[in-house]
Structure 1
Amino acid sequence: MKPLTKIVTHPSNISKEYLLRTVISKTTNTKEELLKILNQKPEFIVKGEIFYLQSNPDAMALLMKTLQTQYVLVKNIQETQIYRRIDPKN
């Protein structure tokens, strides 16, 4: 499948704004790029420890709010949670 974004080789890349500005555009930031990904409404989100967003509270809040309002936890495997979009058609 086509990657959701150019930088998904590792999830922590989204927090590296110097990388985003090189690959995407000079004005992009972590929250904007995360919003682009979430706006694609992926059917599943797999979330482990997201230490790399701790330095960006706005992006962390966006992810957590999206998971709470648009996704349901379907499986918890050790420290990893698998969420499924409540209505994947919308």
Structure 2
Amino acid sequence: MPNLRGIRDRIKSVQNTRKITKAMRLVAAAKVRRAQEQVLATRPFADRLAGVLFRLLTRLRFEDVDLPLLKQRPVKSVALVFIAADR
């Protein structure tokens, strides 16, 4: 009989593991869905920003503008600019 008891315990253990795995999968799916919604919510902002940058670039190409920030020079340091929503 101890063999039968061991098999039953093992079956219960596998069932519990299956339940935990399913719960973890549901949590992960909810997180992915939330992240996708956030990305979609920022799309209009990104499209608008891309349009502004494109118009700026086309104006700079056709005008003879001497801007110090656009000159080629050796890289001494790097700056990162982050643009984010106010949320």
Considering the TM-score relative to the shorter chain, is it more than 0.5?
no
Highest Rg: 1 or 2? Answer: 2
Give the TM interval when normalised to the shorter protein: under 0.3
TM-score, scaled relative to structure 2:
0.20
| Higher RCO (C-alpha under 8 Å, 6+ residues apart) | 1
Instruction: Give the structure with the higher percent helix.
Output: 2
| Structure 1 length-normalised TM | 0.19
Report which of the two has the higher share of strand.
1
